[in-house]
Amino acid sequence: MKHIREHEVGGVRVPKPHARTLKHLVAPWTGGSERVWLGMTNIDPRSSSNQHGHPEKEEIFYVVSGRGEIAVGLERQAIEAGSIVVIPPGTPHQLFNDSDETLKVLSVVSPAFEASEFNLQHSITGT
């Protein structure tokens, strides 16, 4: 059994203009899973993720806390704690935090990311 505590997992800090912290909670390179990636995104107030898509990967977002908006393809909707959004493979998506508090979103992706692929799609450099 592998037991992970979110508060003990270090994060990758992404600077402006898409200021946020990304945590790999369960990933193939952390020894947690081979087929599923689980991560936490903490989007700074008045910030967003970069727009991106994942060819051949399905993603599900669960909003843990905060509020904002999500764009999936050509649709854009308000999200808040308890919101669940399913993103089909290859569909461009982007999270927006339009509030003064952190937007905390849990993500599940299958099949799992490879580390280099994750960094490229999420505009992370130098890791």
Per residue in 4-33, pLDDT (tens digit) is: 999 999 999 999 999 999 999 999 988 779
Residues 64-82: pLDDT tens digits? 999 999 999 999 999 999 9
CATH fold, domain 10-121, is Jelly Rolls (2.60.120)
**pLDDT for the residue 125:** 62
**How would you classify the pairing of strands 93-96 and 20-26?**
unpaired
Can you tell me the distance from the alpha carbon of 89 to that of 96, in angstroms, rounded to the nearest whole number? 20
Can you tell me the distance from the alpha carbon of 14 to that of 77, in angstroms, rounded to the nearest whole number? 24
Residues 76-101: pLDDT tens digits? 999 999 999 999 999 999 999 999 99
Can you tell me the distance from the alpha carbon of 71 to that of 47, in angstroms, rounded to the nearest whole number? 14
Which pTM was predicted? Answer: 0.91
In this prediction, residues 105-115 reach a mean pLDDT of 91
Note the residue count of the chain: 127
Can you tell me the distance from the alpha carbon of 70 to that of 127, in angstroms, rounded to the nearest whole number? 27
In this prediction, residues 113-125 reach a mean pLDDT of 74
Distances (CA, A) of 71 to 1, 3, 36, 68: 36, 33, 23, 10
